[in-house]
A and B are shown apart, each in its own frame.
Chain A
């Protein structure tokens, strides 16, 4: 009897331990998670926590002092450069370890390993798409390239050593909370992981195209309709670099850009079974940015001012981490990428630098024909050419691993084939030629910029940037301003690569790379400013084809504002960055006001009045802005959807300017008529129809009290895991949106705003939507968020070491060699 009770009690004890230690019964190991000495309580950082520390590592050569200010920004002072990068790695890991590793897992297609295959296998599908795109293959190549440069090798290794020094001394109880919740541990860091992170940025910024959708459009539309819907030279285009006597384009291409002889029959009218499935995992189309620099001739102080705000997916922990790195050689401050050494967007004592995405199409598809089912040879210039195979092992949490064999051709990996389909019925083998597969050491660009003292050194630095192509903006204390669209860009004939190309014919290869000196650029122009906002960098007179999808309105309004500004002070630039003037609405207004009120429902008339009285600013509180956005969306749908539905295949959606400009040119726009009805609809019919349709949604929003623009748009910044809502910030009151300088969409927008006045000592301002700590249990997790939404800035302080007694410095970390 006694024995039985003991057995029962023991069993209950062990059962409870099992229950609270595993994920088999409950979804989470509650004992492990809630034990105050092990679990999540350990991540609840005291609000008055001290960050003072004295540390010693054998990996350090000398002393490093880190002064941490009241916003938790570390100012690193190192006597030796490698030590500075060691400490940068250590600090990135200390504040952002989970995110750093998660992002590299995402780049390497390893998310299923920690998250499982996901609903409808979505996560596994994403991992496969990254493997098949050759992300790991590309990162391996860039590691080999990086190792050829002694300074890069030293830098990346020092950084990795710093990250690992942090991981090694990290007790399990102090693991970032996401590891605890998901139940895994950090791996050792390596230069490969940094390379993966940088490839992820290439993917995000230079991995976008709609070539397969454009191929469908070409196959199913007449040539005239195609050009009408998808023209790329917008009427309102203000190219980054206009073709003027001051900045002339090259007169002719450096190589022969005649399309292949067979292009007319095989490429432009190449008809084939269309693509029926699109890849859901594509970089966000809104990835873009603004940057501009004004010369001393336009500023009150006579010194240049540089502004930059990169628009990316908004997440917590933020993509950016603010810090200063100072060595005897240089002193740089700005936004850094946890996962990579260097300051990425920022300034030093002499120059400032920033980026917007070039958006050039550097990723094309070639259709290959295999000799047989073994896929070991493909047809190339009439011969069977051997392929190579790379076996990708994708581990899946709670399931057996998935083994995926990816075939590599001379073009690149065959991303789509019978195992990863783009067509439900027919097998299409599509190889991808992507610039990011070419070996390069792009990190050197940032290393060089951190050290650069003048225009020449800036130019030498950015020449290392091959992919992703960027509009690199520059201003110096000595008064120079410049912009270069920099990258290694393929020299293409018109519309080359917009559609799938034949992979059996070498004449469809890229005809080489555009010489660097012919990249669009502008140095100290007489207009007194340089700017970019992802618009086409050049107009049609540039001898090379640069791609087909570019926004125009932000670039247009930035230049209009800068043209008229004089006596500029930093405050003007900050106001401009958060400006919500909707220039597209300015163009669209006259078209929309042609609506005949008698064609409208009663409620719709109310919205028409709201629109008529709107000041064209999509500010917080604006209801007219909501009416405009929904009405315009409904109008686009009313005008195009009938033709698109008839084709019934994935198609690209025309660009933001296509409808405004087409209707301004010709109110009898041929797509206006609804082809599904026997009547011939006019523009006036469609305007009224669209507003009546939008009225349903507007009424619904109004009933929910969400008619004000910021409520309708509902900007949020989600935790990277997307599913842990309490770690995210919702309902941020912020205006702006697509086509406005303040390009804040619902989950996407200015991820870092920076204004740098090139005075002696540097007067700079900046902010990002997040906080320095990646720990959701820290008060520094999201403490910049409200100020960011309100359009406020923090003063950025390029500290000198003799200022260490300044009241802004709250803590000191001392690193010593042991």
Chain B
């Protein structure tokens, strides 16, 4: 239960803060949620990672679907050197997930201090 609440809260807070602040604010969001909701460190990492992996992948997919993947095809050629929009969405999610995961892990460890 805590896991799901953490994921939802992290995603929500990241989304809201990103409306006004730079992209790395997701780390602050994940840290804060992990510090507030007590979980084992590995679970905190997992909730941070999943929150942003899902948030970013789904948002990218949502935006790109409305765009008929016009841009994703081009950018995946630039970044991944292959025409693969889905891969670009997953890479997007992975980057968000990693940053948020480690931030959540830090948050959880900080609370324990």
Q: When the two chains form their complex, are residues A6 and B109 in contact, meaning their CB atoms are under 8 A apart?
A: yes
Interface stretch, picked from A24-32, A478-486, A789-797, is A24-32
**A401 interface residue, CB < 8 Å from B?**
no
Q: When the two chains form their complex, are residues B70 and A47 in contact, meaning their CB atoms are under 8 A apart?
A: yes
* Per-position binary interface string of chain A over residues 716-742, scored 1 when its CB falls under 8 Å from any chain B CB and 0 otherwise: 000000001111000000000000000
Interface residues on A, range: 35 or more
Q: When the two chains form their complex, are residues A41 and B63 in contact, meaning their CB atoms are under 8 A apart?
A: yes
**With A and B bound together, what is the CA distance between A37 and B56 in angstroms?**
9
Chain B residues with CB under 8 A of A12: 102, 105
Q: When the two chains form their complex, are residues A13 and B68 in contact, meaning their CB atoms are under 8 A apart?
A: no
Q: Which residues A1-56 have CB closer than 8 A to chain B?
A: 2-3, 5-6, 9-10, 12-13, 16-17, 20-21, 28, 30-48
| Interface residues in chain A, defined as those with a beta carbon under 8 Å from any beta carbon in chain B | 2-3, 5-6, 9-10, 12-13, 16-17, 20-21, 28, 30-48, 177, 181, 724-727, 776-779, 781
**How many residues does chain B have at the interface if contact means C-beta atoms less than 8 Å apart?**
43
| 7 closest residue pairs by CB, A with B | A777-B71, A35-B23, A44-B67, A36-B59, A726-B77, A726-B74, A46-B66
**With A and B bound together, what is the CA distance between A662 and B13 in angstroms?**
78
Chain B residues with CB under 8 A of A17: 24, 27, 99
Q: When the two chains form their complex, are residues A36 and B60 in contact, meaning their CB atoms are under 8 A apart?
A: yes
Q: When the two chains form their complex, are residues B110 and A6 in contact, meaning their CB atoms are under 8 A apart?
A: yes
Choice from A32, A39, A45, A727 contacting B67 with Cβ under 8 Å: A45
The prevalent SS among residues of A at the interface is: helix
Minimum Cβ distance to chain A for residue B44 (Å): 10
Known: A30-B95, A36-B63, A37-B19. A21 touches B24 (CB 8 A): yes
Known: A9-B106, A13-B106, A30-B95. A40 touches B113 (CB 8 A): no
Q: When the two chains form their complex, are residues B92 and A34 in contact, meaning their CB atoms are under 8 A apart?
A: yes
Q: When the two chains form their complex, are residues B23 and A46 in contact, meaning their CB atoms are under 8 A apart?
A: no
**B64 interface residue, CB < 8 Å from A?**
yes
**With A and B bound together, what is the CA distance between A244 and B24 in angstroms?**
75
**B51 interface residue, CB < 8 Å from A?**
no
**B86 interface residue, CB < 8 Å from A?**
no
Minimum Cβ distance to chain A for residue B14 (Å): 9
Q: When the two chains form their complex, are residues A10 and B66 in contact, meaning their CB atoms are under 8 A apart?
A: no
* Per-position binary interface string of chain B over residues 51-95, scored 1 when its CB falls under 8 Å from any chain A CB and 0 otherwise: 000011001100110111011111101110000000010011001
Q: When the two chains form their complex, are residues A2 and B71 in contact, meaning their CB atoms are under 8 A apart?
A: no
**With A and B bound together, what is the CA distance between A37 and B96 in angstroms?**
12
Q: When the two chains form their complex, are residues A41 and B112 in contact, meaning their CB atoms are under 8 A apart?
A: no
Residue of B nearest to A49 (CB): B66
Chain A residues with CB under 8 A of B103: 13
Q: When the two chains form their complex, are residues B66 and A47 in contact, meaning their CB atoms are under 8 A apart?
A: yes
A-B contact pairs, 28 of them (CB 8 A): A6-B106, A6-B109, A10-B106, A12-B105, A13-B31, A13-B99, A16-B99, A28-B79, A30-B91, A30-B95, A31-B95, A32-B22, A34-B92, A35-B18, A35-B56, A37-B15, A37-B59, A42-B63, A43-B71, A44-B67, A44-B72, A47-B67, A47-B70, A48-B66, A726-B77, A776-B71, A779-B68, A781-B70
Minimum Cβ distance to chain A for residue B37 (Å): 17
Q: When the two chains form their complex, are residues B74 and A776 in contact, meaning their CB atoms are under 8 A apart?
A: yes
Chain A CB within 10 Å, residue with most, of B68, B75, B91, B109: B75
Q: When the two chains form their complex, are residues B109 and A2 in contact, meaning their CB atoms are under 8 A apart?
A: yes
Residue of B nearest to A38 (CB): B23
Given A37-B18, A41-B64, A47-B70, 9 other A-B contacts at CB below 8 A?
Answer: A5-B109, A12-B102, A20-B99, A35-B96, A37-B23, A39-B23, A726-B74, A726-B77, A777-B67
Known: A28-B79, A44-B71, A777-B70. A38 touches B91 (CB 8 A): no
Known: A9-B102, A40-B71. A31 touches B23 (CB 8 A): yes
* Per-position binary interface string of chain B over residues 11-31, scored 1 when its CB falls under 8 Å from any chain A CB and 0 otherwise: 000010011001110110001
Chain A residues with CB under 8 A of B56: 34-36
